[in-house]
Homo-oligomer: A and B are copies of this chain.
Amino acid sequence: MKAPKGFTFSGIHSGIKRKKLDLGLVVSEDFSDCVCFFTNNKVKASPIILNLNNLKISNSQVKAIIVNSGNANSFTGKQGLKDAQLINKELSKLLNIRPEFILSASTGIIGKRLPVGKILKNLNRLVAELSPDNFEKFSQAILTTDTQRKLFFKEAKVSGEKVRILGIAKGAGMIYPQLNKATMLGFIFTDVNIKRSLLIQACKEGVDLSFNSISVDGCRSTNDSVFVLTSKKSYSYIERKDKNFREFSLQLKEVMLSLAKSIVKDAEGATKFIEIEINSARTKEEARRAGLAITNSNLFKTAIYGENPNWGRIISALGQAQIPLKDNISIKYTSLKAKEIRLKIDLKRGKYSWRVYTSDLTPDYIKINSSYS
């Protein structure tokens, strides 16, 4: 695994958390072309508000992303926005660029002021440790209740050339992103050289099939963000929907899906990973809505924890989502005793399919979340 050309990474401990790494930085050698997706929660964390503003000014050209864990800097008002701005400004001096070319992300508890002093004090060290090899440290610095780092790598062959795609994410709870409009953070770095409109299309399709198709607990964060950055350092240029585009899109989708699945597999307290395939729906949207309705049913999720095939709860969840059900609907499970379960539902209404991913609801989820603060 090698980082895509044109990126350096670092991850350090700044003291927001007691012991673990809590501050990460990615710097693009030249400007990267960026496609971003943020939460559709009406409450948006300070870094997201700042990013939306910066992306307009920079025309989506990005030089760096700074990320902290341990504090969401969300619902922190004007002070929160000032704090995020101050960090950007100080970092921009060290990197010798304008602050608008820096994006930021925060994750952790909502409603508490970001410990800005700790971050500012450590910016020098954060920059000093930048290296193409430090992506693993970066991937650790962004974690919260995650039990493992989430990092996936693929290569796409574009006109014989190997284009690299590196995906990094965090997330374990408050997971029901609808990005578009994502509580999870996802970072995808690539060196593909591609026309912007095509990159946007590939990213949108990828995000819909991955991050927008998972739910741990039906709760949507104020901080969900997915950043796709390309340094465009590859030689071959993708400018139309050809074989190269399809190959790159496929590999991008694979990285996004691996990240999204890894979030669900690391879901707080979960003992099962469940893939739900909805077939024969009238539309793709119906298939996805049917799938997500099941992923958000506490009763379905507790039944799976109990290895109990209570399919009446699936029927009830589909009906609650106003999906018209036929008597000949088919519901098939693989073994409920396994750690990974596949559920196939055939709605017998049309020809469209969608896959969604979820976890079981367990006493450990409640233990983790009844004391989290």
**Chain A interface residues toward B at CB < 8 A:** 41-44, 72, 74-75, 77-78, 109-112, 173-174, 217-222, 296-299, 302-303, 305-306, 308, 310-313, 315-325, 327, 361-363, 365-367, 369-373
Contact A219/B369 with A174-B316, A312-B111, A316-B43 known, Cβ cut-off 8 Å: no
Show 27 A/B contacts (Cβ-Cβ < 8 Å), sorted by A: A42-B320, A42-B323, A42-B324, A74-B315, A75-B315, A110-B316, A111-B312, A111-B315, A112-B312, A174-B299, A217-B299, A218-B218, A218-B296, A219-B299, A220-B319, A222-B315, A299-B369, A302-B365, A302-B366, A303-B372, A305-B370, A308-B370, A308-B373, A310-B372, A310-B373, A362-B366, A366-B366
Cα distance, A337 to B317, chains bound together (Å): 33
Cα distance, A321 to B322, chains bound together (Å): 19
Residues in chain B near residue A308, CB distance under 8 A: 370-373
Cα distance, A322 to B298, chains bound together (Å): 22
B72 and A312 contacting across the interface, CB-CB below 8 Å: yes
Residues in chain B near residue A173, CB distance under 8 A: 299
A43 and B305 contacting across the interface, CB-CB below 8 Å: no
Residues in chain B near residue A363, CB distance under 8 A: 363, 366-367
Which of B75, B296, B306, B322 meets A370, CB within 8 Å? Answer: B306
A316 and B41 contacting across the interface, CB-CB below 8 Å: yes
**How many copies of this protein are present in the complex?**
2
Cα distance, A359 to B363, chains bound together (Å): 16
A-B contact sample (13 more), CB < 8 A, given A41-B316, A43-B316? A43-B318, A43-B325, A173-B299, A174-B299, A217-B299, A218-B218, A218-B296, A220-B319, A298-B369, A302-B369, A306-B370, A308-B370, A308-B373
B366 and A316 contacting across the interface, CB-CB below 8 Å: no
A109 and B312 contacting across the interface, CB-CB below 8 Å: yes
Residues in chain B near residue A327, CB distance under 8 A: 77-78
Cα distance, A317 to B72, chains bound together (Å): 15
B41 and A320 contacting across the interface, CB-CB below 8 Å: yes
Closest to A363 in B: B363
A315 and B43 contacting across the interface, CB-CB below 8 Å: yes
Closest to A299 in B: B219
